[in-house]
Amino acid sequence: MTREQIQAFSQAQAEPIWLQDLRLKAFDKIQELDLPKIERVKFHRWNLGDGRLELSEASGNVPAFTDLNSNPKLVQVGTQTVLEQLSPELVDQGVLFTDLATALEEIPQLVEESFMSALAYDEDKLAAYHTAYFNSAAVLYVPDNVEITQPLEGIFYQDSESSVPFNKHILVIAGRNSKFSYLERIETLGEGQEKVTANITVEVIAKAGAQVKFSAIDRLGQNVTTYLTRRGRIGQDATIDWALGVMNEGNVVAAFDTDLVGCGSHADMKVVALSSGKQVQGIDSRITNHGSNSVGNIFQHGVILEKATLTFNGIGHIIRGAKGADAQQESRVLMLSDQARSDANPILLIDENEVTAGHAASIGQVDPEDLYYLMSRGLDRPTAERLVVRGFLGAVIVEIPVKEVRDDMIQVIEDKLSKR
């Protein structure tokens, strides 16, 4: 691509000048920036960008909407929006859940001040690439003091029959003292064999006093090579509870970062991952305490099958000035194969006194005593192992707010374990 082609794409989408300029600045930076550093994961030779900026055609792979529940939701296939579902009551309260073009018409100033505010466009090569080359986006906005009882669902399908790169941007803006649960599903649709790249950025901006429960299940196919970053920027006395299930089939590097910028801000990050076959998954989970009395907890559990590789990096960073901050983390990996490979790396960076911090990490196999107990109750070994694994990953599964999705996640685990 050239600068002129980037500009032409932006103009064709009627993007505002500020966004067009941001794309061009990012494009100019790509070559001079380094790839993000993810400890102990060798991904530098992966193809993480096809250098194409285009839209996907309308897909024949369309989900059966009769299977979807009545929750507020947005569904996109590739770059196309195929369903928006929002009740009149939420619309009257000012809630917006739509594509980027519509959001730019409805809340232009808010989008401009929030877009790429949790992740700097020039932070690294893949951030710059994403900013220049993202080809679809979604925006969820919950205004100040609005509380939503039903979970909002964002469902984003990568079409397995399309070769168009899956470069998606998702922006979640939680107004002051708002409260809601958001469930995100990013998955491959269909049985096609097209090899593609994905560069996905999710930003969550939680303003003062907001309470956000963010659940996600990632299920991209084995032909998708993915870089996925989720970023949270959390204001004063605001909270975010992450519950992330990384269940992809292809190679993935992921960065889950939260900046606790406000005093009294709080983040709980629960991540579970299941790796199988010969895939490589590297996951960086980072919480940075900027505000005084901020609290960040990282909890990562992973299971590895066959010849797969899984790396957990947990990084807790307390910035100078964040007095009274608390940073805790735990990373544990369960290996069900002698040929699997894993790393669990706890990292604490403490730049302030009068704080609390701690970490724990372990890698091991299924506890023989657990298996013995279950088998003594009449279960065969494969069934006993599946129950142990389900319990091991249960901390995130129970956080998923929609029962059908919880059941779906359990079925994914069962299917992978049954192939052993």
Return left, alpha or beta for 277; rule: phi > 0 is left, psi -120 to 50 is alpha, else beta.
left
Dist CA 160 CA 46 (whole Å): 19
* pLDDT for res 61: 65
> Encoding tokens for residue 331?
């990373």
Sequence-ordered strand ranges (E) for 235-325: 239-246, 252-260, 266-275, 280-289, 295-304, 309-318
pLDDT, mean of each 10-residue run, the chain (420 residues): 96 98 98 95 93 84 63 94 95 98 98 98 98 98 97 95 96 98 95 94 98 96 97 98 95 98 98 95 98 98 95 97 98 93 95 96 90 91 87 87 85 81
Give φ, ψ of 25 to 5 degrees. -65, -40
Cα angle 359, 333, 310 (rounded to 5 degrees) comes to 110
Residue 390 included in any domain: yes
Any idea what DSSP says for residue 111? H
Dist CA 165 CA 134 (whole Å): 9
Q: How many CB atoms lie within 10 A of CB 89?
A: 10
Pairing of strands 356-364, 239-246: unpaired
> Encoding tokens for residue 309?
């590789």
Q: Which residues contact 187 (CB under 8 A, 6 or more apart)?
A: 156, 157, 158, 217, 218, 219, 220
Residue 140 included in any domain: no
Residue 319 included in any domain: no
Helix (H, G, I), strand (E, B) or coil at 185: strand
Q: What does the longest C-alpha to C-alpha distance in the chain come to?
A: 69
Residue 389 included in any domain: yes
* pLDDT for res 368: 87
- CA-nearest of 416, 341, 359, 362 to 41 is 341
Q: Do 246 and 254 meet the contact criterion of CB atoms below 8 Å apart?
A: yes
Domain that holds residue 410: 367-420
Helix (H, G, I), strand (E, B) or coil at 66: helix
Q: Do 27 and 132 meet the contact criterion of CB atoms below 8 Å apart?
A: yes
Residue 40 included in any domain: no
What residue has token string 């192939």? 419
> Encoding tokens for residue 167?
């470069």
Residue 418 included in any domain: yes
- CA-nearest of 242, 219, 247 to 303 is 247
Q: Which residues contact 230 (CB under 8 A, 6 or more apart)?
A: 201, 202, 204, 214, 216, 242, 244, 254, 255, 256, 257
Bridge partners (DSSP) of residue 7 are: none
Residue 258 included in any domain: no
Residue 142 included in any domain: no
Q: What amino acid is encoded at 224 in this protein? A: V
- CA-nearest of 24, 51, 295, 270 to 164 is 51
Domain count, the chain: 1
* pLDDT for res 150: 94
Give φ, ψ of 107 to 5 degrees. -135, 60
